[in-house]
Each structure stands twice: as C-alpha cells, then as structure tokens.
Structure 1
Amino acid sequence: MNKTANPGDFSLWSIAVPAFGPSLLFGIGEGAILPVIPLSARDMGATLAGAALVVSLIGVGSLVSNIPASILTARFGERVGMVGAAGLTLVGLLLCELSHDLRLFAAGVFLIGAAAAVFNLARQSYLTEAVPPILRARAMSTLGGVGRIGLFAGPFIGALAIHLLGLSGAYWVAAVAVAAAGAVAWGLPDLLGDHGPGPAGPMPTVRSLMAQHRRVFLTVGIGVLLVSSVRSSRQVVVPLWADNLGLNPAVTSLIYGLSGAVDMLVFYPAGRVMDRKGRTWVAVPSMVLMGVSLLLMPLTAGAVSLLLVAMLIGFGNGIGSGLIMTLGADYSPRHGRAQFLGIWRFLSDAGGSSGPAILAGLTAAVTLSFGIAATGLLGLAAAAVLGYWVPRNKPYAPGRT
C-alpha cells in the first residue's frame, strides 16, 4: 500500500474489503434508519414540520462537525477516526432506540450526523493516502458508488427487520451494520508508516489552510458547493413533481427507485474516464445532464415522461460519483491534508443543506416548476464553474500528491 511502489503494480482489489467494506456497511446502516426517523419522531408527538426538522439534524450534525472531524483525524489517524465514528454512531442509535423523549431522540439523530462527518472524512483521507494518484478517481468513484449501494439496500433490509420487530428493527439493523463497519475499519493497515517524514514545521491550522488555498476554495470550491446543492435538490424534486402530477405513491417510489438504480450502475466507468482523460471530462457532462434534466422536468406530463427524465438525472448524478472527493484529494496538500478535506467537506455539506432550502423558498414564492427550473440553472452554472476553473487551478497530473 506504499505509494512509493510502482503504481502500475497497485490494484484496487488489494484494498477492496478494508477500504470499501466499511463504507458499504455504514451506508446500509444509514439507509436502514433514514426512512424511519420521521416516523419515530411522529410517534413521539412531533408535528410534520417537527419531524422534518429532526431529519435535518443529520445534515446539521455533519455540517458543523466536518472541521472538528478533520482535526481529530489529523491527530489520531484515519483508522482510529473511522472506529471512533462507528462507536459514536452506536451511541446515537442507542439514544434513538431507547429514548421516549423527542429531545433525546433528536440528540441521537444529531450524533449520528456528527459521526458520519468523522467517518466520511477519515475514509476519504485514508484512500487519498493509500491509492496512487493515477487510480485516485476510480477509488473515489468506487467509494461513492459503494456508499450509494449501501443506502439503496439499507431500506430493504430495514423493512424486513421492521416487519419482524417493529420500528426498532431498523435501528438494530443499523447498529449491527455500523458495528461491523467499525470492526472492518479496525483491521485497516495503519498508514502512519507510509506517510514518511512530513515537511518541517508545525501542523498547519484550519485558518492558515483557508488563507493559503483561498483561490481554490473561491473558485473550484464554489463549483463544489453548487454541485452539492443540485445533488441534494434532486432527491426532493422527483417525489414533489410526481405528487404535483397526481401520481400515486407506488408509482412515485418505482420512478425514484429506477433513477437510483441507474445512478449506481455507472460509477466505476466514470472514475476510469476521470483518471484517463481528466476531471472535467466527467464533471462538466455530469452537471450539464442534471441541469438539462431538471429544466425538462416541469415539461413532463405523466409517469413515462417523468421516468425518462428521472433516469437521465440518475445517470448524470451517477457519472459524477466521487467527483467532489476526487477534486478534494487532488487539491489537498500533503501537510495538513485532513484539515483541508474538512474544509472541503464543509463546503460540500453547506451546498447540500442549501439546495432543498432554495427549492422550498422559490416554490413558496413562485411555483414548484419555477423552483425546479432554477435548480436546473444551478446545475448548468456548476458545469460552467468547474469547466472553467478546474483546468486553471493546478489540475490533477500523474505523480502529483
């Protein structure tokens, strides 16, 4: 796993289980509980708006924990970070399962989001160090794709457990999956021996990294924020527009599921293209496809046309799997990498949180179709920003770390 070895001798299969296994298991755990968190909140007396607020605490917990997670990862290492995140998630799940008070339940949900920030930062930092740069995009795309597979499979496994045990079954599925993720992460080879002596001087601070790399954050970073905004909005627009068309919930779920299936099928070829041709060969088409699809969605009039547009959105999102993580790894410095990635993930989560809020605001102020079309324009803006700035801000080149 030492990157000083011949990169041509390295195979992703050699680290498949220890590197990607925890992400699959963690994704299954998240997928199992996401559909039931609002139901549990409602059972504790929350209103519809209150239940939605509780669900949003996962994103809030992740957003505010990204930079602290980077500091912890830099200090204790990637392996300890992932194991610690698994333990913190189990604490959050225990609160969710045993609590009958809405405030304690909300605290558990927040802890799960915070733990996800630590876990995601640590696994990205680990792969950045472990994989040669010429295979970086494939590794990050696979990481993103495996997580999506877990999120896709989790609700089905959770549904079986709910049938047998009630709502608590989903939390037990998540607990088993997350505990397994922590156990697999514990077996990861420690990369400290491969790091070698770093540059002389103290570890850079978050503030110094923001100042040193402000050009990247204010250019490519803005593109990342836009990408995340569009991606998070796409999860909302399909069910909302389906409801607007009067489609029944079963048809809506089928359309959403098929879009997700297309999303999962194309992550590895996209990573291969990014490694061989460059990042913009995927970044720009991905966001153009999503932007155009969202602009077309208000023109759909039935289940078939909506399905076609939803599958195109899934394809556009799927080929961009791992894109944000790949760009973060490309621009991250060797000295202070974890902190840099923490800032990067903060930008990504900020965009992810703002997307649905922008959609909701525009829908309330104008119409749903206007909000969806505006989101499509954000996708085209993301394509323009990344297409212009990525080649100009020290793009990836073989051998660069």
Structure 2
Amino acid sequence: MSTVPDDAWKRMIIPVYGPTFLVSIGMGAVYPLVALTAIHLGADVGTAALMVGLMGLGQLLGDLPAGAIAQRVGEKRAMTMAGAVDVCALTVAWFTQNLIVFACAVLITGLAAAVFGLARHTYLTEAVPLHARARALSSLGGIFRVGMFIGPFVSAGLLLIFPIQAAYAFAAVTGVAATALTLAMPPLPGADTGSARAAGPRPRLSQVLWQHRRVLTILGAGVLVLSAVRSARQGLVPLWCEQLGFDASTSSLIYGISAGVDMLMFLPGGAMMDRFGRVWGVLPALIIVGLGFVLLPLGQTPLQVTLLAGLLGLGNGLSSGIILTLGSDNAPAHGRSQFLGGWRVAADTGNTAGPLVISLITLVAPLAAASVIIGVVGWLGAGWLAHWIPRFASPPGHRGRRSVRQ
C-alpha cells in the first residue's frame, strides 16, 4: 500500500521523473553511436554489433543484484550510487582509446541502469497510491521514450561540431544532473534501510524468488513474450525499409513517426489500466502490435510502411508501463526489491531475445515470415496474459487479493 498521501506524490514529479528524463536523453544520445565508436576504435562490424548488446546484457546481469542493493541501502541511495557509477563509466567511454576498456564501460552503464531502474520502480511502487499506479508508471515509461527520442537529435547536432566522443561527454553531464536531482527525492515515511518496511529479518533473494516462483514463472513468461515482441519493432521496421530499398532519411523518418505515435499514447494507456484493469494495458496493445507485424510485409511504399509502423507505435504506446505496473501489483511488502529484480529479469530477457529471434528466423526464412511469426507470437502472448493477469495481479482498489495461491 502507498505510504504517501494522494496529494503528496504529485509533488514528487520533478525529483522522481526528472532524473529519468535526463538519463534517457543521455542514453538516447549515445546508444546509436556505440557501434560507430567501436569501429572507430578498431572493431570489425561483427564486434561492433556485439558492443551494442553489451548495455542490454549489463542490465540483464544487474537485475537480481540490483534488488539486493536496493533492499540493503534504500531506493534513494541506490539510485544515487547508480547515477555516480554511470557518470564514471560514461567519462571513461568519453576519454578511452582502447576497445576493451570501452566495452567494459558500456557493460557498466547497463549494470548501473539496472540498479537505477529497479530502485526507481520500487520507490514509485510505494510512493504512488494504487488508484493512480498505472498512470504513474506508464508516465515513467512515456518520459523515458521522450528522452530516447530527443537524445539522437542532440547527438546529431553535437557531431556537426565536435568528434564522436562529445556524445559521451553530454551523457555524462546529463548523468551528473540526474544524480543531483535524485538527491532531492523526498524519503518515504519510515524509510531507512530500503523498501522492506515489514517487521522481521531482511529476506534473502533466493527465499523471495522461491516463495513467489509461481507468479514469476507464469506471468513472467507472458512478460517475456511482451518484451520480446515490443523490442522486435526496433529491428524489423528498419530492416523492412532496407529490404524495400528506402534511403536512410526515409527509413529514419518512418521510424521517427512510429516513435512519435508511441510517445503520444502512454497517458491513455495508463488511464485505461487504472480505470478498467490491467488486462486493458495488454490485450489491445498486443492485438494491435500483432496486427501491425502480420500486415507489415504487405507494405511496399513509404506511405504504406509509415502507416503500419504507426500502427506498431500505437500498440506499443498503449502498453507503456504495463510491465512495471504488473510487477508493482504482485510485489510483496516484505522483499519487494528482490521480487522486482526477478521480475525485471523476465522483461530484460525478452528485450534481449526479440532481435535474436528475428535473426534466427531469417536464417531459414524470409524477413516477411519473421514479421508474421512475431505478430502471431504477440497474439498468443495476449491470450496468455489476458487469462492469467486477473488470477494474479491485484485489480484497482483491491490491493493484496489473489485468486491463485502463490
């Protein structure tokens, strides 16, 4: 249950959402340049592609330790520590001329992002009243999308004047600002050693994961599919544009329009979840995204592909914050951070698996087949989650109820 009065959490908007906005702008500025930087430092194309995945790998590896860290030191302190580590890693990436050192810096930024994201998720779970939880968490996802949208334009402007390392300098500066703003976050009432406010000894990670293994495996499987399908959009749309022979500017414009539609939908998606239930954050989104993927091979002109990419952005935007919200709904009061660490493993595994699945399918089938298969998988995931969410996740206004024993 929220420990903050309804009117008080609204005063947290700047200190809580501000750091996310700043960090996401910095991340958006450097993410498109990781492969180019690796090539600049002597990597071949294959190694450069591997470098891009190191940030996601760092997040995946950091999810479970992040839960333990937030449980031990508290959410605010964990976010501050993660921000400081991220700034150090970006500073190293800024100055280094060594490919291995650069790879380590990219991996560490992923680890820091895992701690920062987990602690922020736990904080909002406790700070926001239940009736506004989905809107608060979908707004968090929406703000992250806005920052990731702005970041590449900032780096593009910087590179007109400065060398490629300037983007990492910019990201380090936004990281410093985000860390400083995190210090202004009001502590949760009674917070001293983390989010476990319940009496008794601090639970071990293995205990929490085992106790809640049912929800983590059943709902976690659906979340993995949801994450994989959503992440597939980032690779399939540009690849389809490339296959059709569109030039780089046209492909970028199409992707940008899709991202713009995505950004506009996070508030309606969160409001639907708070008003009608969590299934409404999943079912329409995955049906629409699945339809977009199934129809994508029919798009042959820039206009047609733009409309279908916009359809994918619409569905993706409606699902903004759903994974965070479902995790918060099912997280126990005792061991919340550890549970959310396990929950985020499923989501980040899906994010990593999406592009990999596309690569594997295209080894034996055309890209169009990969798009259709991803769409069908999305529909299957919609059915799975629509069946299981009401049996696990607490509906609005009924925190703590379960219709399936865990």
What interval of TM-score do these two structures reach, taking the shorter chain for normalisation? over 0.9
Alignment of 1:238-257 (within 5 A): 238-257=237-256
Contact 1:69 1:121 (8 Å CA) reproduced: yes
State the match for 2:300 in structure 1. Answer: 301
Write out aligned runs for 1:300-319 (5 A). Answer: 300-319=299-318
2:94–2:166 contact (8 Å) kept in structure 1: no
Q: Does 1:151 align with 2:113?
A: no
Q: Deviations over 1:273-325 (max 9, x none)?
A: 11111000121100111011101111111111111110000000001100100
Three-state SS of the structure 1 residue aligned to 2:236 is helix
Tell me the residue number matched to 1:278: 277
* Contact 1:233/1:355 (8 A) holds in 2: yes
Cα deviation, residue 395, structure 1: 2.8
In the alignment, is the contact (CA less than 8 A) between 1:58 and 1:112 conserved in 2? yes
Name which of structure 1's ranges 92-101 and 27-36 shifts more when overlaid on structure 2.
92-101
Give deviations 1:183-228, integer Å, cap 9, x for gaps. 0001111125268983333222222222211221122111100011
Alignment of 1:13-162 (within 5 A): 13-162=10-159
After superposition, residues 136-215 of structure 1 pair within 5 angstroms as 136-191=133-188, 193=190, 198-215=197-214
Offset at residue 399 of structure 1 (A): 5.1
- Distance in 2 (alpha carbons) for counterparts of 1:382 and 1:177: 37
Q: What letter corresponds to residue 131 of structure 1 in structure 2?
A: V
Q: Residue type of the partner of 2:381?
A: A
Match of 1:225 in 2: 224
Aligned partner letter, 2:115? V
1:2/1:386 Cα in 2 relative to 1: closer, same or farther (>3 Å)? closer
Percent of residue pairs bearing the same amino acid type: 41
Q: Counterpart in 1 of 2:3?
A: 3
Normalised by the size of structure 1, how large is the TM-score?
0.96
Tell which deviates more after alignment, 14-23 or 251-260.
14-23
One-letter identity of the residue aligned with 2:380: A
Letter in 2 for 1:154: G
TM-score (structure 2 length as normaliser): 0.95
Q: Structure 2 unaligned runs (5+)?
A: 401-406
Write out per-residue CA displacement over residues 246-291 of structure 1, whole angstroms, 9 at most, x where no aligned residue. 1111100000000000000110121111111100012110011101
Show the counterpart of 2:404.
Answer: none
Tell me if structure 1 keeps the 8 A contact 2:125–2:133: yes
Distance 2:284 2:306 in 1: 20
SS at match of 1:137: helix
Give the letter for the 1:273 counterpart: M
1:38 maps to a residue whose letter is A
- How far has the Cα of 1:11 moved from its partner? 6.3
- Identify which range, 42-51 or 203-212, moves more after superposition: 203-212
Residue aligning to 2:265: 266
CA contact 2:9–2:127 (8 Å) conserved in 1: no
Q: In the alignment, what sits opposite 2:346?
A: 347
In structure 2, the residue corresponding to 1:330 is in which secondary structure?
A: helix
Offset at 1:397?
3.4
C-alpha offsets along residues 145-196 of structure 1, whole Å, 9 cap, x if unaligned? 0011111111111222222221111111101111111000011111252689
| Distance in 2 between residues matched to 1:250 and 1:239, nearest whole Å | 11
Q: In the alignment, is the contact (CA less than 8 A) between 2:223 and 2:347 conserved in 1?
A: yes
1 CA distance for matches of 2:226 and 2:204? 27
1: CA distance, partners of 2:395 / 2:253 = 39
CA distance in 2, matches of 1:99, 1:382: 43
User: How do 1:351-366 and structure 2 match up within 5 A?
Assistant: 351-366=350-365
What is the Cα deviation at residue 344 of structure 1? 0.6
Asked if structure 2 preserves the Cα contact closer than 8 Å seen for 1:28 and 1:151, the reply is: yes
Aligned residue type for 1:3: T
| In structure 1, distance between residues paired with 2:285 and 2:77 | 34
Q: Do 1:2 and 1:194's aligned partners in 2 also have CA atoms closer than 8 Å? A: no
Asked whether the 8 Å contact 2:62–2:114 carries over to 1, the reply is yes
1:78 alignment partner AA: E
Q: How many residues align?
A: 398
Structure 1 unmatched ranges of 5 or more: none
Q: Return the letter of the residue paired with 1:200.
A: A
Contact map agreement 2:63 2:342 (CA 8 A) in 1? yes
Deviation per CA, 1:331-355: give whole Å up to 9, x if none. Answer: 0001100000000111100111111
CA contact (8 A) 1:219 1:385 kept: no
**Distance in 1, Cα, partners of 2:209 & 2:356:** 26
**Displacement of 1:381 after TM fit?**
1.4
1:349 partner letter = D
SS at match of 2:160: helix
